[in-house]
Amino acid sequence: MARNVIEGVNIYLGESLRIENAERKEAYYMIFERKTDKFVGYCGVRLREGKDMPYLGNIEYEIFGPFRGHGYAKEASVMLGNIAYDWGVQSLTITANVENLPSLNVIKGLGAQFVEVVKVPKKCCLYKQGDRLLAVYDWKIEKRNGL
């Protein structure tokens, strides 16, 4: 059962895991569609050190196939930006496979600025799932209410 719920315009986030200590801050959520209460995906924000962090980026999201195309990933990202802002962060790194056009569109829709394309090292967890090239973006965040 989710411990904390964050309300959005079209979705709400049910907290599934939160870690806040001196070394790291992470929060992961299940995404639910407001009008139906259907579970539509996952998202999370992480601020920590680690060899894979430059490739993983600070936020992640996955919207299940039938629920894509409704702007849920962008709305969840804005909500994650609010969480990071509350932690005192004003800039996040977001990465996406260069072939994942929907994610690249979400990132651009947030107003994130392109930084570079990087090769994924063979020892990185993303390489093991098939990612070879990642587009890296810098997102200057500010507190927002909804979209």
Alpha carbon distance 125, 11 (integer Å): 29
Alpha carbon distance 6, 54 (integer Å): 27
Identify the band that residue 1 occupies on the pLDDT scale cut at 50, 70 and 90. Answer: very low
Q: What are the tens digits of pLDDT across the range 75-113? A: 999 999 999 999 999 999 999 999 999 999 999 999 999
pLDDT at 38: 97
Please report the domains of the chain, with CATH numbers, ordered by start residue: 5-140 (3.40.630.30)
Q: What are the tens digits of pLDDT across the range 48-81? A: 877 778 888 999 999 999 999 999 999 999 999 9
Alpha carbon distance 44, 59 (integer Å): 6
pLDDT over 90 for what percent of the chain? Answer: 76
Rounded to an integer, what is the distance from CA 25 to the centroid of its chain?
14
Interval 29-43 mean pLDDT: 97
DSSP label at residue 56 = H
**How distant, in Å, are the alpha carbons of 23, 40, 142 from that of 62?**
26, 9, 23
Predicted structure pTM score: 0.90
